Amino acid sequence: MFERIGNSWRLIKASAAVLWADKELILFPIISAIGVLIVTVTFAFPMILANFFDALLDGKASGLGFIVGFLFYTVQYFVIIFANSALVGAAMIRLRGGDPTVRDGFRIAWEHVTAILGYALISATVGMILRWLSERGKVGGRIAASLLGLGWNLATYLVVPVLVVEGVGPLEGIKRSADLLKRTWGEQIVGNFSVGTVFGLLTVAVIVLSIPIFVLVASADSLALIILTALGLVLTLVLIGLINSTLNGIYIAAVYQYAAEGETGGFFQPELIEGAFRPE
């Protein structure tokens, strides 16, 4: 446990070195978050009218409900994948010794927009199936959805860099992602450590530490102070999430470069990338 956290911390420092060299990389998760918020607000009313979520629970979904739900998933995935593609594309430029800009990242993503849209459609289909299994199948369905979701996430771990670097289609990208992981780390593998491990602990620590602060602020009987404290907590959690997303995108780019080219770009020690996965 502690060894895994230590490895994750070293991984964060290596990824942060890339972010420090190109601070503008954090703009991609910001734009992604804004885009997801806009998509959610836009689809909220149509999904309520179509009774999409209620339909998933009782198994009596209408055609309109599935269409609206599928469109929502597709657009949301497209926004996320497009922004991630821009981030990974820019990170790959830095790992290869270049000096990327935000424009470079979005240019790379736009050049592969058709493949990104195709992958978004596939991801939306898988997402709806997993959600249906989770909400309709009770305990067994949730377990099946969890296992299938883990397998899907592992198989598609390197899809984004494959799409933006190799220029293949979404189906070939998924196959290539799985092949790269299998060829580099073996048939049966699981993630050994991740950026999210440390940031998850950091998020919990911030929330726990905020409790006595809120108690102290509440005792001051000042509504304005309570609102400012709550706003500070939200902004802190948002910042943690943005940094987490940025460093994770950088790390995925480094893992791809190692798996596809046998190099780590100078920012990551080879053994750090080699330990990304381990035999299951």
Per-residue pLDDT at 51: 64
112: domain range?
A: 2-279
Q: What is the pLDDT of residue 52?
A: 57
pLDDT at position 192 is 60
Domain count, the chain: 1
Identify the pLDDT of residue 62: 56
Residue 217 has what pLDDT? 82
pLDDT given at position 205: 92
What confidence score (pLDDT) does residue 137 get? Answer: 61
pLDDT at 63: 63
Burial label, 81 (beta-carbon count in 10 A; 0-12, 13-18, 19+) = buried
Per-residue pLDDT of the chain (280 residues; tens, 9 = 90+): 555 666 777 888 888 889 998 999 999 999 999 999 999 888 877 766 656 555 555 555 556 667 787 888 899 999 999 999 999 999 999 998 899 999 999 999 999 999 999 999 999 999 888 877 777 666 777 777 788 888 898 889 999 999 999 999 999 999 999 999 888 887 656 666 667 778 888 899 999 999 888 888 888 777 888 888 889 999 999 999 999 999 999 999 999 999 888 887 778 888 778 777 766 5
Q: Per residue in 246-276, is it b (16+ CB within 10 Å) or e — as a string?
A: bbbbbbbbbbbbbbbeeebbebbeeebbebb
Buried b (16+ CB within 10 A) or exposed e, 156-190: bbbbbbbbbbeebebeebbebbbebbeebbeeebe
User: What is the C-alpha separation between 6 and 235, in angstroms, rounded?
Assistant: 27
The token pair at 33 is: 């978050």
At 189 the pLDDT is: 63
